[in-house]
Structure 1
């Protein structure tokens, strides 16, 4: 490990842009985030202003450099992690976006997705990309912009249109238009990238009628992505690492071995399992995706998502006024004396159900059901959904439950009660790291490996430290009985929903 300088991590998320300066041990010296506006122009549409994303990112970097009094020339290298799937299209001559960024949550292309399913393209697309056909992914968003925005049509005609995910937009701007790049993890979420052959897929580009020339060149996660121009922060800063947020968290959690699992509990929950060099086509409606390409180590992952995790606690705080601070939910749930079921399908259910029409319910309430009972059921619902994903992993692989350890991060992982419930219901060990900023740390580690601060993933693995482990405190039979009740309740809701 080289002892030179600091690492800059740029973490561009769905609701805020963040910058962090870390030392080479992965300790955070300074961090700052700036929120930006969310736009909802129509039902199911979600947009961001790309200029505001760039400005808030720049402001965050300026803040951490100023707060630490670190000279930009002492920043060894920068890494970028970002909200995945969100798409920006811009004119390469003017540098201006032709339309707002269409966000991963946006559902406007559902009708087109349905036509693709009707054409029986599901199997073809899954075999090449590992993804299901869904508006979530970038391809249909790009197609919508090209077909509906006049400025995009003009820019294409003049060969001036560029399209990319948020990482590409930031790189192009920070390098003053010199570099139009993305990495394999972001590319693998577009529904245009063949994750077996590691390239944009001509057949898919033809299906979506998208010209390859507008797309960025795809690089490995630890690679040369150009340099932030000196006009921004006074010195050139090389960009050496890029990964989508969930893959960056996988790297930050040092899940470099086959079978290792990380689960991030934020607004939603994203669980990824490293499947090594094997692309596993899920039979359980999980997604297959690139985990990372780091030098000659090119690994895949299986991914499952839970739509509502932290939102359940926010709902209890903001709409129901059960608590005035999200951190108080643990204290409240500990007072529970009755068992009820809570299915938090505020925006439908994610994997393995993939039902965006079903809505939430609370069942089994009696006269003495309390706020505490609802809080406990809410926390358990996230644990049950995690077990849903774990059962899918067991079905898709030859692994047994005792092969698993789940490394957790995200705001909800600080809740000790929920982490114990998670271990009880899944019947696996839960490990919480000392430093839970896994996403930002993952981007910094990638950049550090590119610059030689870390020699390889083995050096990064040594930096991961445990805060606490949680082991199952109930029997397998009791866990199975609780989980069976959850499955029956979900089945009833799906049948009646």
Structure 2
């Protein structure tokens, strides 16, 4: 690979980074050494924090006061604040858990020697040998620490959960000169011209550029995104506002709902030897007229919108003596369709934007 790069020194090479969004890491600002492994977007260590914060008097006061203020001002930002809740898949309370439980990180924060970053920030830092430290608006907006209305880190949320603003990286445009890959890595200095979250990049790649365009990605989880134009949309049921991308003066906003277990549920069934591959799973499901009342709840990482229960467990229901693994496989596949239907119906109910196009992608498609 290095020889090929060196042979094409005159060819214009560019790097675009589009990783998982809510997975994060913290590291020593001086040495670049990480304090812990990546904390995945499906990590459940902050479940109790999420429950306690969402049930807290502070959150109840925030919601009620913002509802009153919204009544008089009709501010969209206050309306969003009145609906705000923490979720387990946002980085915010998982980061708060790290700050509360890892002494090494606590000490580094006190010495202003700690960096936080989602995977894009970490890769940028490593590829540039520590010379660049930043994220973009699309990745920042997925952390639960960002205010999409003010387009900056939220002072309110960070102060509520005791996350220092000094810990968070500068936020840049999605298309931006992020420096170059250090020449020692590939033999040539390759410019890094964009950072973007995986679902936002899928939205862009599917050409969902118009208000009302919808993208459904079915991978490890399911992510349903709708282009809401220039205005963030926050719903009661669990669709949350994101920045799709910011290129120059153009800001495109999305609303997103997700189900945490799609491909992961299929992989689990395969590991149990219910089937060997996708072709066999399809054949087994089609061999039955229906699942005979057997249902599967795909919630290895809780249930997201519209139920928003991080403690929900995966389960089969309706099992009978006549149930065999064909019924189980069909129930698992049907559960994906049911979750997609739930998300789509909630999107139509709570986001009053006519759907213009629906594009689907991901490894499960």
Query: Which TM-score bucket, shorter chain as reference?
Result: 0.7 to 0.9
Pick from 306, 313, 316 the counterpart of residue 266 of structure 2: 313
Counterpart in 2 of 1:331? 283
Structure 1 residues without counterparts, runs of 5 or longer = 1-62, 414-497
SS at match of 1:101: coil
Matches within 5 A, 1:293-372: 293-319=246-272, 321-339=273-291, 340-347=293-300, 348-364=302-318, 369-372=323-326
Counterpart in 2 of 1:280? 233
Counterpart in 2 of 1:412? 364
Task: Tell me the distance in 2 between the aligned counterparts of 1:316 and 1:155.
Answer: 43
Pick from 112, 115, 120 the counterpart of residue 49 of structure 2: 112
Pick from 152, 159, 163 the counterpart of residue 112 of structure 2: 159
Task: Tell me the distance in 2 between the aligned counterparts of 1:113 and 1:182.
Answer: 25
Per-residue CA deviations over 1:295-339 (Å, capped at 9, x if unaligned) read 2221111111112212332233221x2321234322222211334
Pick from 330, 334, 342 the counterpart of residue 388 of structure 1: 342
Counterpart in 2 of 1:249? 202
Kindly tell me: are residues 307 and 71 of structure 1, through their superposed partners in 2, closer, same or farther at Cα, counting changes over 3 Å? Answer: same
Pick from 32, 37, 47 the counterpart of residue 95 of structure 1: 32
Task: Tell me the distance in 2 between the aligned counterparts of 1:387 and 1:192.
Answer: 29
Task: Tell me the distance in 1 between the aligned counterparts of 2:53 and 2:336.
Answer: 32
Task: Tell me the distance in 2 between the aligned counterparts of 1:367 and 1:202.
Answer: 57
Matches within 5 A, 1:182-261: 182-261=135-214
1:279 deviates by 1.3
Counterpart in 1 of 2:72? none
Kindly tell me: are residues 101 and 126 of structure 1, through their superposed partners in 2, closer, same or farther at Cα, counting changes over 3 Å? Answer: farther
Per-residue CA deviations over 1:343-379 (Å, capped at 9, x if unaligned) read 2334232211112333344445566555444333322
Kindly tell me: are residues 358 and 141 of structure 1, through their superposed partners in 2, closer, same or farther at Cα, counting changes over 3 Å? Answer: closer
TM-align CA RMSD: 2.6
Retained in 2: the 8 A contact 1:222–1:293? yes
Task: Tell me the distance in 2 between the aligned counterparts of 1:109 and 1:300.
Answer: 28
1:67 deviates by 7.6
Retained in 2: the 8 A contact 1:171–1:179? yes
Pick from 261, 268, 271 the counterpart of residue 221 of structure 2: 268
- Number of residue pairs matched by the alignment: 347
1:136 deviates by 2.1
Retained in 1: the 8 A contact 2:237–2:307? no
Retained in 1: the 8 A contact 2:86–2:93? no
TM-score of the pair, normalised by structure 1: 0.64
Retained in 2: the 8 A contact 1:127–1:281? yes
Residue 175 of structure 1 pairs with residue 128 of structure 2: yes
Kindly tell me: are residues 408 and 265 of structure 1, through their superposed partners in 2, closer, same or farther at Cα, counting changes over 3 Å? Answer: same
Task: Tell me the distance in 1 between the aligned counterparts of 2:303 and 2:277.
Answer: 26
